[in-house]
Structures are given as structure tokens and as C-alpha cells.
Chain A
């Protein structure tokens, strides 16, 4: 489903702020893979997701989604294939627009925006049903402005928007990091539910090693712009936090892992 070959990205090249964030990353995801991504600050996790989403173009290498080469496509054209939830709850929704308007925008992801009605009556009924999955009472507040919702509600709504039209690839960038533990667990449950229901190919960044182990069928760890660990299948199921730390030390030859990873 996702094929990344040898991508590089350097920010601010030729300046004192030069930073090479991706150093020849290659990654292949099969259809239905749910991959969790961990790594310390500056390891390149978010950069990898942004590279896939097309926030900017990569310096080298190729990215293809479902067989389509998207390496040179701008962000809005890749959106056809990708559903995204950001770390910042403010980023994924339009605060000054209504819940149903946000959903209607998401329902048209990747389609031409015409002069037809922005939202139809049938859609409203459909959205009301969808919102019930979240169990947050949003189904009764279709016309409320999204700005009135809590961070957790906004993230849950963004998740719903990202999957309203089945995406070829779902990108979750620490989407529970800004939430309190209880809300985070609720959003994570909703994520698991939607991913399983639609059998979505998913990349989920998390800073929580336990979550990374508990969710998905595969786990990758990034370090200094590269993937240093890739664990799947039976090995992933039996994985513990201690294992992970030990493996990280072996893979990178560094024992600074503990702090960086746990605090990251």
C-alpha cells in the first residue's frame, strides 16, 4: 500500500540551522498494516509523516501510495489517498465552522469542489449516525461550532473526518499526546475501532511505548533520521518495554535510549 524508497530531507541547507531529518528512509507497508512509530525528539518521526503527506517535497527518493507515485504531488492532491490526524487538536478542524460543515468538507476529500450544495440533507443523517460511534454526544450538536469542543472531542472528530472517506493510508501524528490520559484512552479506543472496522493501512506515531506495543501488528523505531528497529508478527506480540529498550541499545550502540525515548 505504501512504498517509500530511500528518501532524504534536509531543512535549511547551507545555513547554520541545517538539519538532515531523514537519511535514506525506506519503508514498505502491506495493505491493512497498522504500524506504530516510536523514537526520541528529532528522530524524524513527524518528518517522515509530513514527507508522506506532502507538507513539502523530499530531496531524494520516491514515495508511492497504492501504486501511485506521489513524490512530486502537492499536499492537497495527495489528500485524496491520505487521512490525517495531527498532534495539535486545533490543526485538524476548522474552529469557526460547524461540526457538520467540517464533516462535509472531509466527505469531499480528493474530489473536485463544485457549485453543488456544500452539505445535503442525506449527509446530515449519515453524519449523525457516524458521530454516535464516538460516544461523545456530538450527534446532537451537528450545527455547533467546532471551536466550542474540547481538545479530545476535536481529535475524535478529526479522526472521523480522516476516515469518513476510506483513505488508502491513515497517518496519526501523536494524535493523543495533547490530551489528558482519560481522553487519550478514549480517542485511542475510537482509533482502534475505526482502523479494525475499515481494515485501514495506518501509521501511528506515539511517544508512549506501551501504546506502541499494545496497538498495531508492527512497530518501527526511528533514530537520527532512520529506521533502526522493525518488529512485527509474533515477536511484536510478545514485546515488552524492557525488550524494546534493550533492542534500541543494540541497534544504535547507545545507552542514552531510556531518557530520550521515555521523555520524547
Chain B
């Protein structure tokens, strides 16, 4: 009974975390699912978003403005990865790792802005001292300051904007690039540009998630983004496995990433209550993602009919 009660008590927090990471998961969905690129920048840009937002808030900026700046900083990180990949010809996965690594140093510097120290690994935020948009402190309160309310609004706005964008000529070009870049180029789409654009949008969302997370949890730490890509993938994959057949509309596909993130955090809360250490979570997450990624491969390899191939050998 005690176990169940504490589990239920921690539900709002799991949902809150899930919503915040859901923004991040949507970013991962854009690169991993739409562009077909595994972008590892996100481990760095999540923390960058949190760092920029936290520093600006401690300096007394308006929290909305700080959030906007965080998004822009993430977009810049995406731009760097995009340029490394397209203009410099570095494989996408390596380009992402390079930016992520560089961001680690940068994030330590950003967090120390306005401080005597040259670098800083943690930056604390408190609703008592700082003007915050949301805080986990009010997660069980029935009022306008409940973070779930704000997060729900943010989610609707984000999904709405993306739904509109991916329906435009530019957004369609981006989708075509991921679906078949040969075809995209033959239709006059500058696929280098669309790839950069996708990485910029994605990392903007990831940084936004970081900025929300820093405020929600009351601190921004340098390790916040470590393994973020795997959590994002877990959310995307859980959402896809459970809802792919039901949610066919694009907006609902994005929503399924968010639902995936919420389920992920509910499961995490559960296993923590069952006695696992929080440091074990990365192992668990990696296992979950590995298994879910293997299933379609095994299915294709062992349970599918052979595909008939036609045509002459060469042209």
C-alpha cells in the first residue's frame, strides 16, 4: 500500500519530466525519423539551452526572453553540426559528436558568465530568488503556477507550429530530403540546406527542453545532457511502437513522441521505487533502446518474405 501510494504520489512529477523531455524527443524525431540522421549534438545542446537560460535568469532577464535565447543557442549548435556535415563533408554522426564535445567546454564557460570563476559545472535556480516560468515545487498544486499547465500549453504551441511548418513548401522539401535525397535533388531541392535546416530546428527544440528542465528541476548541471540522445530515442521508439498504427496524422505522430517520453518517465519512476539506483538508469535506458531497435531488424530478417528484384545489372 505504501509502495503504491508513493508511486501514485510521484506520478505528476513523472508526467512533468515526460512533457519536458517530450519537447526534446520531438527534436530527435525530426532528425532521426524525418531526416534519417542520428544527431548526437543533442547531448551538448540540451545542456547549452539550460545553461544559457539559467545564466540569463540569474542575471535578471525575463524568463521568456531567456527561453528564447536558449532556443537560439541550440539552433546555433545545430547550424554548426549542419555545416560540419554538409559544407565540410564530415559524416553526420561524427559531426554531431564533434559539436557535442566542443559544447561541453563551452557550457562550462557559459555557466560561469557573470561569476568570478572561469568555469562552472552547476548553476542553481530557485523560485524564491529567481523569476522562473515553472518549478517542480508546485507540481502537486492546483493553481496557475502548476508547471503541468504551462508545459501543456508549450506542447500545443510547439506541435502546432511544427505541424504548420512541415506542411509548407519548405517543410515538405525537408521531409523529401529524408525520404529520398536523390529524388529531392532531382526536384531541385538543395538537400544540404534542408539538412542544415532540420538540424537547426531540432537542436532549437532540444535546447528549449534543456531550458525548461533547468527551471523545473532548479539547477543546470554540466552532465544534464549526457545520454540525452538515448532518452530521446527511447521516447520516439516507445511512442512509435505503441501508437504508430493509431496515430497516422503528423501532429499525432509528434504527440506520440511526447506520450513515449511520459511513459518512459513513468517506467523510470517505477523501477526507482522498486529499488534501482538512479545511476543504473542509463544502463536500463540503453538496454530498452537496443532491444526496441533490434526488433524491427530481426522481424525483417527472419519473418519476412523475400523481395523480388528485377532489372538489368547495370545501365
Complex CA gap A177/B184 in Å reads 22
Check A114–B310 contact: CB distance below 8 A: no
Q: Which residue of the partner chain, among B175, B179, B186, contacts A53 with CB atoms under 8 Å? A: B186
Q: Which chain B residue has the least Cβ–Cβ distance from A85? A: B186
**B279 in the interface, Cβ–Cβ < 8 Å?**
no
Check A105–B315 contact: CB distance below 8 A: no
Check B310–A84 contact: CB distance below 8 A: no
**B182 in the interface, Cβ–Cβ < 8 Å?**
yes
**A104 in the interface, Cβ–Cβ < 8 Å?**
yes
**1/0 contact string of A107-132 vs chain B (CB within 8 Å):** 01111011111110000000000000
Complex CA gap A77/B186 in Å reads 9
**B5 in the interface, Cβ–Cβ < 8 Å?**
no
Q: How far is the CB of B105 from chain A (nearest CB, A)?
A: 35
**B304 in the interface, Cβ–Cβ < 8 Å?**
no
Q: How far is the CB of B163 from chain A (nearest CB, A)?
A: 12
**1/0 contact string of A35-65 vs chain B (CB within 8 Å):** 0000001100110000001000000000000
Q: A118 and B167 in contact (CB under 8 A), knowing A41-B313, A94-B176?
A: yes
Q: Which chain B residue has the least Cβ–Cβ distance from A55? A: B185
Q: Which residue of the partner chain, among B169, B175, B191, B310, contacts A115 with CB atoms under 8 Å? A: B169
Q: How far is the CB of B183 from chain A (nearest CB, A)?
A: 5
Classify the secondary structure of A's interface with B.
loop
Considering the complex, which residues of chain A in the window 202-222 have a beta carbon less than 8 Å from any beta carbon of chain B? 205, 207
Check B175–A113 contact: CB distance below 8 A: no
Q: How far is the CB of A88 from chain B (nearest CB, A)?
A: 7
Check A97–B175 contact: CB distance below 8 A: yes
Q: How far is the CB of B182 from chain A (nearest CB, A)?
A: 5
Chain B residues with Cβ below 8 Å from A119 are: 172
**A93 in the interface, Cβ–Cβ < 8 Å?**
yes
Check A117–B168 contact: CB distance below 8 A: yes
Q: How far is the CB of B169 from chain A (nearest CB, A)?
A: 4
Check B169–A116 contact: CB distance below 8 A: yes
Check B310–A79 contact: CB distance below 8 A: no
Q: How far is the CB of B186 from chain A (nearest CB, A)?
A: 5
**B6 in the interface, Cβ–Cβ < 8 Å?**
no
Chain B residues with Cβ below 8 Å from A174 are: 312, 315
Complex CA gap A75/B186 in Å reads 7
Q: A93 and B183 in contact (CB under 8 A), knowing A105-B176, A113-B173?
A: yes
Q: How far is the CB of B176 from chain A (nearest CB, A)?
A: 5
Complex CA gap A95/B184 in Å reads 12
The tally of CB-CB contacts under 8 A between chains A and B is 115
Greatest chain A CB density within 10 A among B188, B189, B313 is at B188
Chain A residues with Cβ below 8 Å from B183 are: 91-94, 102, 105
Check B311–A87 contact: CB distance below 8 A: yes
Q: Which chain B residue has the least Cβ–Cβ distance from A106? A: B187
Check A178–B310 contact: CB distance below 8 A: yes
**1/0 contact string of B255-290 vs chain A (CB within 8 Å):** 000000000000000000000000000000000000
Q: A113 and B191 in contact (CB under 8 A), knowing A93-B183, A97-B179, A173-B315?
A: no
Complex CA gap A94/B34 in Å reads 12
**B9 in the interface, Cβ–Cβ < 8 Å?**
no
Check B188–A80 contact: CB distance below 8 A: yes
Complex CA gap A243/B98 in Å reads 62
Considering the complex, which residues of chain A in the window 155-200 have a beta carbon less than 8 Å from any beta carbon of chain B? 161, 173-174, 177-180
Q: Which chain B residue has the least Cβ–Cβ distance from A178? A: B311
**A96 in the interface, Cβ–Cβ < 8 Å?**
yes
Q: Which residue of the partner chain, among B182, B185, B190, B314, contacts A41 with CB atoms under 8 Å? A: B314
Check A94–B169 contact: CB distance below 8 A: no
Chain A residues with Cβ below 8 Å from B191 are: 76
**B180 in the interface, Cβ–Cβ < 8 Å?**
yes
Chain B residues with Cβ below 8 Å from A117 are: 167-169
Check B179–A95 contact: CB distance below 8 A: yes
Check A118–B180 contact: CB distance below 8 A: no
Chain A residues with Cβ below 8 Å from B315 are: 45-46, 87, 173-174, 177, 205, 207
Complex CA gap A151/B308 in Å reads 11
Complex CA gap A215/B211 in Å reads 63
**A33 in the interface, Cβ–Cβ < 8 Å?**
no
Check B187–A95 contact: CB distance below 8 A: no
Q: Which chain B residue has the least Cβ–Cβ distance from A118? A: B172
Check B168–A79 contact: CB distance below 8 A: no
Q: Which residue of the partner chain, among A82, A93, A113, A114, contacts B180 with CB atoms under 8 Å? A: A93
Q: Which chain A residue has the least Cβ–Cβ distance from B171? A: A118
Greatest chain A CB density within 10 A among B172, B191, B312, B313 is at B172
Complex CA gap A129/B114 in Å reads 65
**1/0 contact string of B157-200 vs chain A (CB within 8 Å):** 00000000101111111011001101111111111000000000
Sample (24) of A-B pairs whose CB atoms are under 8 Å apart: A41-B314, A74-B190, A76-B184, A76-B188, A76-B189, A79-B185, A88-B311, A90-B180, A94-B180, A97-B176, A101-B172, A105-B172, A105-B187, A108-B169, A111-B188, A113-B169, A113-B172, A113-B189, A114-B169, A114-B170, A118-B172, A161-B187, A177-B315, A207-B315
Q: A79-B187, A114-B170, A117-B167 are in contact. List 6 more A-B contacts (CB 8 A).
A: A88-B311, A91-B180, A92-B186, A108-B187, A117-B169, A178-B310
Shortest Cβ-Cβ A-B pairs, 3 listed: A178-B311, A79-B188, A94-B179
